[in-house]
Amino acid sequence: MIITNYIIQMKNSIFITSVCLLFCLTFQPLSAQKNPKNVIFLIGDGMGIAQVYAGMVANGNHLELERCTYSGFSKTYSSNKFTTDSGAGGTALACGVKTKNGMIGMNPDSVAVQSILELASKNNLSTGIVVACAVTHATPASYIAHQINRDMYEEIATDYLKTNIDVFIGGGRKYFEDRTDNRNLTNELKAKNYQIAYTLKDVKAVKIGKLAGLLYDDQNPGIPERGTMLPDATEASINILSNNKKGFFLMVEGSQIDWAAHDNNTQQIIKEMLDFDQTIGKALDFAKKDGNTLVIITADHETGGMTILDGKFGSDMLKAAFTTKSHSGVPVPVFAYGPGAENFSGFMENISFKGKIEKLLKLKK
């Protein structure tokens, strides 16, 4: 009898525990709806699903970005073309407006539109840009500059001086120092308390404060010549920006997946994709440890109209086919991890990222 009672009590307590557990699990989404403090936004230029999978197959059926818990698709058309360029594509992601191909940080009427980076900076968050190309190239320019044409590299470089960006690292030194107007923007950056780095070693030595990393005279070289520039500079930037307890916004670009895809060069696409994935790994490592960081990964457009016909896991033996030497109009993948990641699933417009990030970071206009 005593034993029977004891068993009944046990059963009751198990039942109550189970109910509590079920209740907690059911209502967990409410408590999980916390806002991120930091956002790391990674753009694989030209990175469609075939480029992602090419990297995954070559890497033995695994990529760092598989750690993301939500995924979706972004529609990439611009205001005047079905198939976007990186100017309009970057502007859509950065500023939340569809614009004409070739334009940077402006709406189709040539009116400047504030980017998410500029808004974050205005709200006293730290901000950064790390890219595998010149910092004046279309994608990074979309976050910092407002120009009618993406080829206006010297004007775009000048726009860096008009902002309060904390860290920017990439190539394009000559657009700051060897200019037709004879201005030396590096000296002007120094006067604004920027530390200047010309090498990756110099970048790694900086732990706090403002940093302008101009690592190459013009465009960065591709992989393998570029080495671990992108993952290392990303890690260094996260270390610097995370000093700000209010939070940070960092944009990172795997710039040359696009260039390899323009060349329809499968082996180079794999190399650039895996370099970008290593960089994604750095962002996800920080986000996991930090717990307050949202990581979003997407592309501005697909390049090459690439598909994969055959492959072998763990080998770069990949049979790919391309339908163009230019960009294609297909939607691109989106991956997200961290608080707020659930907002980046399903089909979305490329202009929806800015508003969502703005809301999640509780930025005031």
User: Catalytic residues, which ones?
Assistant: 86
Binding part of the chain for Mg ion, among 43-51, 98-106, 174-182, 242-250 by CB under 5 A, reads: 43-51
Q: How far is the CB of 256 from Mg ion (least distance, A)?
A: 8
Give the separation between CA 276 and CA 258, rounded to whole angstroms. Answer: 12
Q: Shortest Cβ distance from residue 341 to Mg ion (Å)? A: 24
Closest to 213 in 3D by CA, of 279, 141, 134, 152? 134
Q: Residue 255 touches which of Zn ion, Mg ion, none (CB < 5 to 8 A by kind)?
A: Mg ion
Q: What track of x and - describes contact with Mg ion for positions 213 through 252 (by CB under 5 A)?
A: ----------------------------------------
Nearer to Mg ion, 139 or 350 (CB): 139
Looking at the DSSP bridge assignments, the partners of residue 307 are 321
C-alpha pair distances (Å), 205 with each of 171, 196, 209, 281? 18, 11, 12, 22
Number of residues that this document lists for the chain: 365
Q: Is 255 in the site for Mg ion (CB under 5 A)?
A: yes
Q: Does 277 bind Zn ion (CB under 5 A)?
A: no
Among 139, 264, 343, 352, the residue binding Mg ion under the rule CB under 5 A is 139
Indicate the Cα dihedral angle 86, 89, 91, 95, nearest 10°. -150
What does 139 bind: Zn ion, Mg ion, none (CB cut-off 5 to 8 Å by kind)? Mg ion
Least separation in angstroms between CB 333 and Zn ion: 17
Instruction: Give yes or no for residue 45 binding Mg ion (CB under 5 A).
Output: yes
CB 45, min distance to Zn ion, A: 7
67-106 residues near Mg ion, rule: CB under 5 A: 86
- C-alpha of 93 from chain center: 10
Residues in 103-132 at the binding interface with Mg ion, rule: CB under 5 A: none
Which residue, chain included where needed, has tokens 């670009």? 253
Q: For residues 44 and 302, what is the distance between their CA atoms, to the nearest angstrom?
A: 9
By CB under 5 A, tell whether 136 contacts Mg ion: no
Beta carbon of residue 60, minimum distance to Mg ion (angstroms, whole number): 28
Binding mask 241-260 for Zn ion (x = CB under 5 A): -----------------x--
For residue 335, how many other CB atoms are within 10 A of its CB?
A: 25
Of 94 and 295, the one with the shorter C-beta distance to Zn ion is 94
CB crowding 38-62: b at 16 or more within 10 Å, else e? bbbbbbbbbbbbbbbbbbbbbbeee
State the alpha helices, DSSP H only, in the chain: 2-32, 49-58, 86-95, 116-122, 138-144, 153-161, 174-177, 185-191, 200-205, 229-241, 257-262, 266-290, 352-360
Residues that bind Zn ion (CB under 5 A): 258
Residues that bind Mg ion (CB under 5 A): 45, 86, 139, 255
